[in-house]
Amino acid sequence: MTADPLAAYRPTDVFFADSERAILGSGAVRTWTTGSPDALADEVAQALAEAGPAIALGAFPFDTGAAAALTIPETVRTGTRPRPSGPVDTGEVIHFNPVPEPEKHLAAVADLTARIEDGRLDKAVLARVLDLECREPVDVGAVLRNLVAGNPAAYSFAVPLPHHAVLAGASPELLVSKSGGEVRSHPLAGSARRSPDPVRDKENAARLAASAKNRAEHALVVEAVADGLRPFCRELTVPAEPELVATPTMWHLGTQVRGTLHDREVSSLRLAAALHPTPAVCGTPSVAAREAIGDLEPFDRGFYAGMAGWVDATGDGAWAVAIRCAEVAGQAMRLYAGGGIVAGSDPAAELDETSAKFQTLLRAMGLEMAG
Ligand SMILES: C=C(O[C@@H]1C=C(C(=O)O)C=C[C@H]1O)C(=O)O
């Protein structure tokens, strides 16, 4: 155990922390830059078995055909989740560029809502990005410290990507974790802004909990997660009602799905592959949602809405949905945020929701602003 794995972090390292534990990997015994989670699951399991008590850490993109970033590090430090004092300075942002323009995002939401109301699909998640330019190269370690400090319950991660870029984020959403014979997933869907005013904050939460539209949107995700896990489980518990989940910036509806596995050796990567992408980041039906996303988002999602996490030689591990994240490269930083669109979604409310979701990363940059 290392006192503070974050203190030793360098941008070429891989970092992943849940609310209790942090893992820092440095160097590489083995790296995978291509292959979907499903295609790699057996190969990774075999490499881990051969490497002794090893762990593979990294991220997979939204589009499972695109490049992967998974490593068996040379050195692994594990420790309790660090509680850094913060915030620390990350450097000055000199330019903001939303892609697409906010008006174009409103039009895309309206277009998607029309497709849904035509009966072509039930739900799709539409995202936008905010490109930041900084005066100096971004201090990724400082951003990561601020993300960890500012989001104590989040899955925090930093994964090196090709071309010296780093994916850094603080996701509230667990795609899947596996420990011995137990599996867990914590899908989120349905969102409302937090408010600094405690009365309005409570009202926002109560309105979200009572919203039929948000509950229906949430149910689609829970159903997909339950369907994905059922074949692996001899017992699966799926609560009938969602709970409110609070992050420092957002309220969400969340459901804790828990199961007992038929085979305790099935790997967390195999389980993640069976679930990804859930309708929390893609939609229902999945194929129609991907098509709508491809038509309406004018950028490549890259690792956003993919997954970040780890798997060890026993198959244990955890994968977070890669949201509330940014890709950092030199002086440039690309922040991503999306929201689920269903029949009756209001474009202005959806634009506001994505602005609120940018706040996780903006705060880590020492900023608080309308995205
Ligand atoms: C897609 C994102 O978040 C997801 C979408 C949500 C929603 O549509 O309500 C809520 C939580 C996440 O599952 C994001 O943060 O970019």
For residue 309, is it within any domain?
Answer: yes
Residues 6+ apart with CB under 8 A from 108: 100, 126, 296, 297
What's the length of the chain? 371
Nearest to 226 by CA among 258, 200, 264: 258
Q: Is the CB of 242 under 6 A from ligand 1?
A: no
Query: Mean pLDDT, to the nearest integer, of 79-96?
Result: 89
| Res. 3 pLDDT band, cuts 50 70 90 | low
Which amino acids are annotated catalytic?
123, 173
Neighbours of 97 (CB within 10 A): 11
Mutate to test the pocket of ligand 1, among 105, 186, 252 (most ligand atoms within 8 A of CB): 252
This prediction has a pTM of 0.97
For residue 234, is it within any domain?
Answer: yes
Please give the backbone phi and psi of residue 183, each rounded to the nearest 5 degrees, phi first: -125, 145
Q: Is the CB of 350 under 6 A from ligand 1?
A: no
ipTM of predicted assembly, 2 dp: 0.99
For residue 23, is it within any domain?
Answer: yes
pLDDT at 369: 59
For residue 27, is it within any domain?
Answer: yes
C-alpha 56/C-alpha 174 separation (Å) is 18
Distances, alpha carbon 266 to alpha carbons 53, 73, 99, 273, in Å: 17, 22, 40, 12
For residue 370, is it within any domain?
Answer: no
Nearest to 239 by CA among 254, 261, 220: 254
Beta carbons of 68 and 58 less than 8 angstroms apart? yes
C-alpha 26/C-alpha 262 separation (Å) is 34
Cα–ligand 1 centroid distance for 339 (angstroms): 5
Mutate to test the pocket of ligand 1, among 281, 293, 307, 327 (most ligand atoms within 8 A of CB): 281
Atom 1 of ligand 1, nearest CA residue = 338
pLDDT reading at 371 higher than 70: no
Atom 4 of ligand 1, nearest CA residue = 280
pLDDT reading at 122 higher than 60: yes
C-alpha 200/C-alpha 196 separation (Å) is 8
The residue behind tokens 């799905």 is: 257
Q: For the chain, give the mean pLDDT.
A: 95
Q: Is the CB of 340 under 6 A from ligand 1?
A: yes
* Number of domains, the chain: 1
For residue 344, is it within any domain?
Answer: yes
pLDDT reading at 370 higher than 60: no
Q: Is the CB of 208 under 6 A from ligand 1?
A: no
pLDDT reading at 351 higher than 80: yes
Host domain of residue 46: 5-86+94-364
Distances, alpha carbon 116 to alpha carbons 224, 288, 347, 349, in Å: 18, 10, 14, 17
Cα–ligand 1 centroid distance for 280 (angstroms): 6
For residue 140, is it within any domain?
Answer: yes
Express each pLDDT in 221-273 by its tens digit: 999 999 999 999 999 999 999 999 999 999 999 999 999 999 999 999 999 99
Beta carbons of 317 and 114 less than 8 angstroms apart? no
Cα–ligand 1 centroid distance for 182 (angstroms): 25
Cα–ligand 1 centroid distance for 67 (angstroms): 23
Q: Is the CB of 337 under 6 A from ligand 1?
A: yes
Residue 247 sits in a domain whose CATH number is 3.60.120.10
DSSP 179-217: ETTEEEEE-EEEEEE--SSHHHHHHHHHHHHH-HHHHHH
